[in-house]
Amino acid sequence: MTNNIYAPTPENLDRAAQTIRNGGLVAFPTDTVYGLGANVYLPDAVAGIFAAKERPLFDPLISHIADIDFLPEYAQTDSRVMDLARHFWPGPLTFVLKRKDSDHCLDMVCSGLPNLAVRMPNHPLALQLIKASGVPIAAPSANRFKTVSPTTARHVSDSLGNKVDMILDGGPCKIGVETTIVDLTGRKMVILRAGGLPKEELEAFTGEKVYLSDGNPDKPSAPGQLLKHYAPGLPLRINVTEDEVRPDEFFIGFGSVSSAHLNLSPQADLREAAANLFAFMREAEKHREFSGIAISPIPESGLGLAINDRIRRASYHD
């Protein structure tokens, strides 16, 4: 058991910001999941994220900022980008944009790609940390690569232990699945990863059709595009109805099912289901008296798009 979980006091926040500036790793809560943060301008620090997570260097990271007006200084923007930022930020939406320049300090966070991914999280502690650090913070989910994403400080500690210098405890994350990632480098808006902002909300605001892309798992252009991701410690089957559950499976239900060991949302509320998803998968994998995990069918609409994306990748067999 590690003792690197810290209460979000002003003193600990200052210490965390100093750790970021000095090239250390700080895990912190966001509106979606806990992030593992490092100074984007220190390639050695960003490399520490990849090492701690055991994440391949070709899988790019998201930069977190705390001021919308800083975005044009960090990436190439236009009126469409800024309108989207002012409407949806802070919130669970990540933009993929063309890099502002060829600053080689950003090569590590961008995995050498000509584009970068950037967001503004809707969590007061995250925003305070970014502002106090004075730099954008690179932060993928704070867990070992391909394992279930963390939604509490204890999840981070259980997964990464003392590989993290500090874990700021901001309580459970509200949304529970990672951000929606939208590519804005072309004329069409393309979702590279479904997430905490439903596709329908983007289309309602812009009046444009938003396209979906599965991405290339061999050459990811955004986080979360690998075929196998978010995997629990037991084999996972998805779209399993109540009468199809095997005796040796831990059953995670959705809606009006009576035999579930855990239910993502008895009322079939997709927001509640998204918030519970990773925590329930972590709880299920603890039950080694079972040989696998089964999950009820989830509707492919709203946040269901993000939930199904996560469980499909979690259930993928190499």
Mind listing the pLDDT tens digit for each residue in 112-136?
889 999 999 999 999 999 999 999 9
**Averaged pLDDT, 31-35:** 97
Instruction: Give phi and psi for 168, each to the nearest 5.
Output: -85, 125
Question: Do 47 and 193 lie in a common domain?
Answer: yes
Question: Do 207 and 245 lie in a common domain?
Answer: no
Residues 191/181, Cβ–Cβ less than 8 Å? yes
d(CA 216, CA 90): 28
Residue 231 lies in a domain: no
**Averaged pLDDT, 104-108:** 91
Residues 85/120, Cβ–Cβ less than 8 Å? yes
Residues 32/92, Cβ–Cβ less than 8 Å? yes
Question: Do 94 and 191 lie in a common domain?
Answer: yes
Helix runs in the chain, H state only: 10-21, 43-53, 71-74, 79-88, 124-133, 153-160, 199-206, 270-285, 304-315
Residue 3, pLDDT > 70, answer yes
Question: Do 17 and 147 lie in a common domain?
Answer: yes
Residue 220 lies in a domain: no
Question: Do 113 and 56 lie in a common domain?
Answer: yes
Residue 224 lies in a domain: no
Q: With bands split at pLDDT 50, 70 and 90, how would you rate the model's confidence at 39? A: very high
Question: Which pLDDT does position 217 carry in this prediction?
Answer: 56
The total of structural domains in the chain comes to 2
Question: Which pLDDT does position 135 carry in this prediction?
Answer: 97
**Averaged pLDDT, 137-156:** 94
Worst-scoring range by mean pLDDT, 223-232, 284-293, 302-311? 223-232
Residue with the larger pLDDT of the pair 102 and 256: 256
pLDDT tens for 206-265 read 999 999 886 555 555 566 655 556 778 899 999 999 999 999 999 999 999 999 999 999
pLDDT tens for 43-59 read 999 999 999 999 988 88
Question: Which pLDDT does position 213 carry in this prediction?
Answer: 81
Q: For residue 298, count CB atoms less than 10 angstroms from its CB and return exposed for 0-12, middle for 13-18, buried for 19 or more.
A: buried
**Averaged pLDDT, 275-299:** 94
Residues 7/166, Cβ–Cβ less than 8 Å? no
Q: How far is CA 177 from CA 82, 93, 151, 184, 266, in A?
A: 24, 11, 9, 21, 19
Q: With bands split at pLDDT 50, 70 and 90, how would you rate the model's confidence at 74? A: very high
Question: Do 302 and 186 lie in a common domain?
Answer: no
